[in-house]
Amino acid sequence: MSTSFPTFVSAGEALTDMLRTGADSWSSQVGGSTWNVARVMARLGVPSAFAGAVSLDVFGDALAQATDVAGLDMRFLQRHAKSPLLAIVHELHPPTYYFIGDDSADLHFDAARLPAGWMQGAQWVHFGGISLAREPLAGKLVALAQELKAAGVKISYDPNFRIMMDERYDTTLRRMTQLADVIKVSDEDLAGLFRHDDIDGAFAMLRSWNPHAMYLYTRGAQGAALYQGERTWQAAPPVIEVVDSVGAGDASIGGLLYSLMYRPDADGGQHLRFAVAAGAGACLAAGGAPPSVELVESLEARTVVS
């Protein structure tokens, strides 16, 4: 087995979406925002891993197989004889959901069981999603982020607001924002996380907690902006035929991180263009399929930055 370690790791949750497709019919789909970001990076050709835990049943088997197929480093995936984490999506338009996962496998992730020396190979580690709102996993991940920060590893963070992120999440939101080098947030995230309609005020508050971070601020079809210090870049997405917007946000943060890792001489506008193109690329196929570098580059040429 190779002793070389992935340069990118995403830590958090992998889950199964149970989608109601009819009055008495359901379909399942592998997912989880942090797991999706790991797949995006692997698809872009970055040596990547997903650090998290899944069950030993049929749901965990499907996630483990998809993790392997995606080309992720399997040494970082942990398996436990616990129940699976399920997202029950009982309405599709708009998505209406709840989670089932009491004492489930994801909560039993143990960072101490990751391969010895892996931090020395990691350039970026990504955090976010519901894993940071589920104890005791959340506490373990914040502690891991603090250890990585002290070791000089760069951290990205996408809170990815979900219904369980109430006032109990406020401390985690602030701490992870302070630790992160790159933060991705949407207008919908801000409304949910700050629980009011002053979106500009919420974003200003978020930035005040860590003025030195780079912020990728997405607003769906309206495009995105990148903030770094006093500088701001705006981008309009390329005109495409959207098949499925699931995973677009995960692809956009993946695209930004790829650009930061592999195009260090690019300016903020170029980084933003690649991020927006990656998000658009994920919309061209069903089920949040990660885009290839070639697809992103073709869309990048049609993405306008100002």
Q: Closest Cα to residue 179, out of 218, 153, 217, 216?
A: 153
Q: What is the pLDDT of residue 246?
A: 78
Rounded Cα gap, residues 40 and 258, in angstroms: 10
Quickly state the pLDDT bin for 35 (edges 50, 70, 90).
Answer: very high
Regarding pTM above 0.75, the answer is: yes
Taking the chain, what is the end-to-end CA distance rounded to the nearest angstrom?
47
User: Taking the C-alpha atoms of 172, 175, 177 and 178 in order, what is their torsion angle to the nearest 10 degrees?
Assistant: 180
Give the Cα separation of 189 and 163 in Å (integer).
10
Cα–Cα dist 96/113, whole Å: 35
> What pLDDT is attached to residue 220?
74
pLDDT of residue 3: 66
Are 156 and 38 in contact by the 8 Å Cβ rule? The answer is no
Residue type for position 197: D
- Yes or no: say if 114 and 141 are a contact pair by the CB < 8 Å rule: no
Q: What mean pLDDT comes out for the span 32-40? A: 96
Mean pLDDT of 42-65: 97
Mean pLDDT of the chain: 93
Domains of the chain by start residue, with CATH: 1-156 (3.40.1190.20), 181-306 (3.40.1190.20)
Q: Is the pLDDT of residue 2 over 50?
A: no
What is the rounded CA–CA span in Å between residue 302 and residue 130?
Answer: 33
Contact 178, 198 (CB under 8 A): no
pLDDT value at residue 94: 75
Describe the strand order of the beta sheet including 214-218 as a list of residue ranges: 77-80, 48-55, 8-11, 124-128, 154-158, 182-186, 214-218, 224-228, 231-236, 304-305
What is the SS3 assignment for 217-277? EECHHHCEEEEECCEEEEEECCCCCCCCCCCHHHHHHHHHHHHHHHCCCCCHHHHHHHHHH
Q: 294 or 143: which carries more pLDDT confidence?
A: 143
Query: Cα separation of 213 and 229, whole Å?
Result: 8
